[in-house]
Amino acid sequence: MTAALDELLKRSQSRSNQMIEHLKSHGVEHKELLELMAALPRHEFVEPAFSHLAYSPTPLPIGRNQTISQPLTVAKMTSWLLKYARLGRVLEVGTGSGYQTCLLAHFFNKVHTIERQKSLYVQAQARLKSMSINNVEFLHGDGHLGWPQKVEMDAIIVTAMASKVPTALTDMLKEDGILIMPIADAVPAIGCWRRHGNKWKRLESAVAQFVPLLEGKIDA
């Protein structure tokens, strides 16, 4: 290995270590999640011009005017799933770069993920295939409509913000299932709820900004 390449690898290793320390200092404790985030090459999921910032505590562009959330937000949402959900079948709305999808694929038996932008859908699918992740079903579509087949989900995670939860999504969630979604309220925040029939018990919440959940799909 050349000295320059060796140096580059060391630098990305130390940035990843700093990211893990940052997560720990903000209360992320799940050992397997921390190990997974330390091992996952986050710099391969962001736009190449920003890869040097991939492990920094900031949201970053992933193409098509969309962003990947900062590592702490991704870690928090995933920790809530690990704490409260049955790790069977999960639906993700907003595949984006596929980074969150990778984390879900590690912990859940089966992941269904929906992305409205064709190019992001194609890219994320190829990325996960190259990583030999094969328990994920991808769909190019509008998450407002839910998954086309009638499958019941143990958990649903939406990674784009709206003022209310689409009913097609809540209809797919099992009794006692977990829903995680950012809601555009006076103070925008991600919520985590458990379903009890038509009632919802809020288990967690955290202030955060997200790109908007938009209607329809885009063929580009």
- Tokens representing 182 are 């950012």
Question: In whole angstroms, how close is the CB of 181 to ligand SAH at the nearest point?
Answer: 12
Residue type, 72: L
Place of tokens 């999921």: 45
Quick check: 116 binds ligand SAH (CB under 6 A)? yes
Q: Do 54 and 42 touch, CB atoms closer than 8 A? A: yes
Quick check: 142 binds ligand SAH (CB under 6 A)? yes
Candidates 28-36, 61-69, 171-179, 183-191: pick the segment binding ligand SAH (CB under 6 A): 61-69
Quick check: 59 binds ligand SAH (CB under 6 A)? no
Quick check: 96 binds ligand SAH (CB under 6 A)? yes
Ranges within 17-36 binding ligand SAH (CB under 6 A) = none
Candidates 25-33, 80-88, 111-119, 180-188: pick the segment binding ligand SAH (CB under 6 A): 111-119
Q: Catalogue the active-site residues.
A: 69
Quick check: 104 binds ligand SAH (CB under 6 A)? no
Cβ contacts of 34 within 8 Å, gap of 6 or more: 20, 23, 24, 28, 75
Q: Do 54 and 37 touch, CB atoms closer than 8 A? A: no
Phi, then psi, of 195 in degrees rounded to 5: -85, 130
CB-nearer residue toward ligand SAH: 115 or 154: 115
Q: Do 40 and 34 touch, CB atoms closer than 8 A? A: no
CB-nearer residue toward ligand SAH: 9 or 151: 151
CB-nearer residue toward ligand SAH: 6 or 163: 163
CB-nearer residue toward ligand SAH: 16 or 100: 100
Question: In whole angstroms, how close is the CB of 10 to ligand SAH at the nearest point?
Answer: 26
Quick check: 15 binds ligand SAH (CB under 6 A)? no
- Tokens representing 207 are 């202030």
Quick check: 114 binds ligand SAH (CB under 6 A)? yes
- Tokens representing 72 are 């702490």
- Cα 45 from Cα 63, distance rounded (Å): 10
- Tokens representing 156 are 């649903």
DSSP, collapsed to helix, strand or coil, labels residue 199 as strand
Candidates 2-10, 27-35, 136-144, 178-186: pick the segment binding ligand SAH (CB under 6 A): 136-144
- Tokens representing 91 are 């639906």
What size, in residues, is the chain? Answer: 220
Which residues lie near ligand SAH (CB under 6 A)? 62, 66-68, 93-94, 96-97, 99-100, 114-117, 120, 142-144, 159-160, 211, 213-214
